[in-house]
Structure 1
């Protein structure tokens, strides 16, 4: 019976001798077994530095077990002879409970023969080494074809490997926090990336992606993903559902083919760094004004001149019953979902626009582009062009002729 964990063996005689303890805990493997040529059950504590380990007899030799924090993977075994405390931490709680139960039986000497024990031998080097948490692969030659990735990985980089797709073996790494697949040839992302529940950083810089999956937007990445790099790909647009990635703080979209940013980008409340330089953006979405950024880079986009006096009128008078009903649902915050409304109506409601008066509009509106000072949404702004401008055109919507007329009056007064 074996238990991997971190162990610190502390002698209770050290304080009386004026000596200090051994310091930090070390990765170790605890084993219960019968040593060759000896009777009874013994405890073997093996570490990477001392694989043969130290053996402790258990029969009537355990003074006390401290198990208050066993649910956290912690316990302490106090032995009588020698006078040491074996302090355990970072153990699997269920395996720890089983191990301590067997240790109690070995201490009492009762039912020893029922314990599933094997001869006590030193473990292999791989069993006591600290689990590998980081791995960097920087060429196709280094890429493992026959070996699995260590399940303990938290940071994996596989760059310059000419990968055409995401390796499914990576999607089994449930502890993965950072995945760097930059400088490859990936054309599509599997929806199963969303099963990496701990993933906080995803780097896909310099690949051949043409889209970002809607399925990923609704996966567990909504609650975990904080940094996303999609720069130097071939993406023309991000789905409206992209703004469900509520924990995003850093987003890089440079050097793509974007013709628009997500319609509801203002819903990314945690976003602090946004870079979308050298794309094909003609203007910014209306929701852009809701962002609160630290750094913003929109350099090199072919922004159109703002046209506040040339409206695109999509208004129909009188409003249709569908438009009136939809506006009422949004304005009065009436709950809706696929269980009460058809899916296409729910999608339309999710894409509702907000007039400057605060009321909603769906398919009936007046649209113009106005000048936005980017310093109103970001502390640090990279110049939009070589002329030193920090302004860009942004869409504005109006739910009625009255609202547009009021805006027009204010705009003309500002010109005068």
Structure 2
């Protein structure tokens, strides 16, 4: 049994700084045909030409598997006092650790392990982690993508549908599907455990008026996604679920047909770069007013600098128990779907608005408009004209109205 992986060897007896992980191979094997004693062999690396052999029986102090679903584990040996920090495909790693467990429990048939594994060998060529498909002829229709793929670029192939083989890539960090004709993304995309950048620019996600954004719901993407590019998709609206991608740092929705932005953008506390240029947006959500962005691009939105005054008439009703409960669910970011709450309440929560103070408002709400200079919320502003723009502000209380009218 052997796996190709990234290995970091830490000698607990030395104060020396840790060395960078290297690509290598770990093998579980018996000593010889006549000697069934099991060993673990760290095969040849650039720093260790002969490899290192570790006795398994009564020599493993502990195996750390807390992050095994992310393809990470640590094997701690007694002698020598080494920690092997392993990173590879999660499925292969689980299989390897299961074999190791059987060997420790004396439940492994030694005959299934090759004696040749004990001989140091050259490392197998590292599997591909970056895949770029440039032509239709290069597309791996039958063999699929390497399971070790971390960056996948499928650009300019005029694909009309999302390839569901991508959902099997547990190590995928960057997915670039730009310049195609994709009309929707599957809800299961949210289950990818490591995706940090999703680029779907210049596609057709807004075609036919049937926008599908289920992948923005509760899932791994809400914890991992840092960059989202939806530019050039003909989008007429951006769903409130965008607020669930709470780790977003960069959001690009330029070159669409948006007229308004959801107030839930104000819940993206990590957001630093926002591009909404080349749309028909007439105002920004008031929930953005508390932000301090690095960059904001509002160019080519012709009506965004036109201030529309309206009477300041507000009426705050007594909240129902349903509203109060919904506000708490959103405040504590509790996961929900139709399997845990009545399905009629899901859109009630999904369509919540967000006050300028950051609180969720469900049901009826008061909305006021004011004008502010966006240089207050961004260090770098790109605009076609005046940087004083209209803000549409949801307010949840008289205190928020007072703060809006009389800013400090």
TM beyond 0.5: yes
Task: Summarize the Cα distance change of 1:65–1:255 in structure 2 as closer, same or farther, 3 Å threshold.
Answer: same
Q: Which moved more, 1:135-144 or 1:334-343?
A: 334-343
Give the TM-score normalised by the residue count of structure 1.
0.70
3-state SS of paired residue (1:95): helix
* Cα drift, residue 196 of structure 1: 0.5
Tell whether the 8 Å contact from 2:24 to 2:45 is kept in structure 1 after alignment. no
Q: Quote the Cα distance in structure 2 between the aligned partners of 1:301 and 1:402.
A: 31
Deviations 1:140-161 (A, max 9, x none): 2322112121111121111122
Distance 1:70 1:128, change over 3 A: farther
1:274 deviates by 0.5
Structure 1 position 152 matched with structure 2 position 148: yes
Secondary structure, aligned partner of 2:223: helix
State yes or no: 1:28 paired with 2:21.
Answer: no
The question of whether the paired residues in 2 share the 8 Å contact of 1:225 and 1:248 is answered with yes
Q: In structure 1, what is the equivalent of residue 69 of structure 2?
A: none
| CA shift for structure 1 position 283 | 1.1
**Deviation sequence 1:259-318 (CA, Å, 0-9, x none):** 11112221111101101110110111221213221111111002251022x3386x67xx
Structure 2-normalised TM-score? 0.71
Greater Cα shift, 269-278 or 290-299: 290-299
Superposition deviation, residue 252 in structure 1: 0.6
Shift of 1:54: 7.4
2:185 matches 1:189: yes
> Among 201, 207, 220, which residue is 2:203 paired with?
207
Identify unmatched segments of 5+ residues in structure 2. Answer: 10-18, 65-72, 88-92, 331-335
Alignment check: 8 A CA contact 1:5 1:88 kept: no
Structure 2 CA distance for aligned equivalents of residues 325 and 188 of structure 1:
37
Question: What does the per-residue CA deviation read over 1:150-207, in whole Å, with 9 as the maximum and x for residues that have no partner?
Answer: 1111211111222211111111111211111111111111111111022111111111
Q: Does 1:396 align with 2:393?
A: yes
Deviations 1:391-415 (A, max 9, x none): 211113568999989988x79xxxx
Q: Structure 1 unaligned runs (5+)?
A: 10-21, 79-83, 106-110, 412-416
The change in CA–CA distance for 1:3 and 1:355 in structure 2 (over 3 A counts) is closer
CA 1:350/1:126 → structure 2, altered by over 3 Å: closer, same or farther? farther
Cα distance in 2 for residues equivalent to 1:355 and 1:24: 46
**C-alpha contact (below 8 Å) 1:230/1:252 kept by paired residues:** yes
Once residues 100 and 273 of structure 1 are traced to their aligned partners in structure 2, the CA distance between those partners, rounded to angstroms, is: 47
Q: Which has the larger radius of gyration?
A: 1
* Residue in structure 1 matched with residue 61 of structure 2 by the alignment: 68
Q: Is the 8 A contact 2:282 2:301 kept in 1?
A: yes
Are the counterparts in 2 of residues 66 and 77 from structure 1 also a CA contact under 8 Å?
A: yes
- The change in CA–CA distance for 1:138 and 1:104 in structure 2 (over 3 A counts) is same
Superposed displacement of residue 215, structure 1: 4.5
Aligned to 1:117: 112
